[in-house]
Amino acid sequence: MEKVIIGMSGGVDSSVAALLLMEDGYEVEGLFMRNWDSSLNNDILGNPNIKNNDICPQEKDYNDALAVCNKLGIKLHRVDFIKEYWDYVFTYFLDELKKGRTPNPDIMCNKYIKFDYFTKKAKELGANYIATGHYAKIEDGYLKKAFDKNKDQTYFLSQLSKEQLDHVLFPLGNIDKPTVRKIALEHNLVTANKKDSTGICFIGERNFKQFLTNYLPAKSGVVVDIATNKVVGEHCGLMYYTIGQRKGLNIGGNQDKMFVVGKNLEKNILYVSFGDNEYLYSDSCILEQVNFNCDIRPVNAMAKFRYRQEDIPVQIEYLDDGLKISYNHVKSVTPGQACVIYDDDICIGGGIIKEVRKNNKKLWYLL
């Protein structure tokens, strides 16, 4: 019997994934990861749990994972990757914010923690495979979109290598979320009606502005109308704003829609535009940190620049040090975000957006 170590998060997805693996005849054991420690990591400001005398959310998750494993009759191991998460995920997150970019820590958490350090620990425990509750498929050696397209999480798996995917099982790849809930209820799992986790990967819900002040000094500056070069307000720190953002700008007196369109890190300027205009659109971008998980190298493909975004037709030019991705008039393509590439339903990989262009010229107002 082949042994599978599954990442148990204390949520309904990993709970049902473990159950399905058992039904498929695997020897299953769970492994709970603790990747964040609020006291060690100075997570004070913006933490809604810091003054709460009740059990902290991570311990609640562990207890839920343990209850599920006890119900299923499987062993649950526990491991701390607090230092590794800080070194490889959170430091990257902070460094990208310092550059004024928009990082995705979930992607790096998968690359370095869930499918690297976790895998090494699982092998120590004798695993033939690891498994997670991600909505994705491995078919014929390819990473493919899940049956439930609304929950598909291949976007977050785009930085994984072929070697990392070779011994991974995704039990939820062929079912949808309502079915997962139904299975959990039928088996009386304590996680059946538990809400999905939100917020920063493994950290959870935080007041984002207050949370970041634990680690990065906020530096206020001016907000400038990019069309007129006139100052129209004040921002509270460039790191708090993303390209295309419309809500939360707190600039009164303007009736038109206002969008964030760019940043000047050196001068600490936040650029906005009024109305949905051309400043928000581009036609190509350059990718760095490019990763492929298979041998497919299309010239014409589909891509996502944000999770849950509709697939966008793109043309790919293979450069010595990255990729050039061309497309037609797409809104809010943002440095620091991931561009994930698809050949039909196959996720072949992707990269991090380094530079955004229009008419073969870098947009000067995007970092």
Please list the active-site residues. 109, 201
Number of C-beta neighbours around residue 102 at 10 A: 22
Residue 243 · residue 366 · CB < 8 Å = yes
Assigned token pair, 124: 């120590």
Residue 154 · residue 143 · CB < 8 Å = yes
Residue 262 · residue 245 · CB < 8 Å = no
Cα separation, 348 vs 341, in Å, equals 6
Which amino acid is it at 165? L
Cα separation, 291 vs 289, in Å, equals 6
Residue 139 · residue 294 · CB < 8 Å = no
The sheet with strand 76-80 has its strands ordered as 76-80, 27-34, 3-7, 129-131, 168-169
Q: Over the Cα atoms of the chain, what is R_g?
A: 22
Cα separation, 72 vs 108, in Å, equals 31
Cα separation, 4 vs 6, in Å, equals 6
Burial class (CB in 10 A: 0-12, 13-18, 19+), 125: middle
The number of helix segments (H) and strand segments (E) in the chain equals 9, 18
